Amino acid sequence: MNEEKRRAHVIISGRVQGVFFRASTRDEARRLGLNGWVRNLPNGDVEALFEGDRQAVAQMLLWCHQGPPYAAVHKVDVQYEPFIGDQQGFRVVY
């Protein structure tokens, strides 16, 4: 197992759609050098996958608890998965 790399699958609940959450997540993930994706779910939540440096993933997860200025995050569910390294760049998925 690669101790320096991490993969986190995240579901963010609250007022997280219609507040630029996906675009802000993409920008923050790219700033941190992470790979993966983010998308809206039909139930109003946001789902994301982050892969990269362990420290950068930890910083991204902290950011997810607050999100962009107009978001109101109520819950962040994180599932750590084995690092695969199959993600290229960070994108918004529709």
Q: Which of 40, 43, 54, 91 is catalytic?
A: 40
State the DSSP H helix or E strand holding residue 88, giving kind and residue range, or none if neither.
none
Query: Would you say how long the chain is, in residues?
Result: 94
**Structural domains in the chain (count):** 1
| Active-site position among 2, 6, 7, 22 | 22
The model's pLDDT over 53-63, given as tens digits with 9 standing for 90+, comes to: 999 999 999 99
Q: What residue type is assigned to position 33 of the chain? A: G
Sheet strand arrangement including 35-40? 72-81, 5-15, 46-53, 35-40, 90-92
Chain segment 11-64, per-residue pLDDT in tens: 999 999 999 999 999 999 999 999 999 999 999 999 999 999 999 999 999 999
| CATH assignment at residue 29 | 3.30.70.100
Q: What is the pLDDT of residue 2?
A: 63
35 labelled catalytic: no
Domain span holding position 61: 5-11+19-92
- Rounded to an integer, the average pLDDT of 56-75 is 98
What is the structure's pLDDT at 21? Answer: 98
22 given a catalytic annotation: yes
Q: For residue 3, what pLDDT is reported?
A: 74
Of 65, 62, 38, 50, nearest to 6 by C-alpha is 50
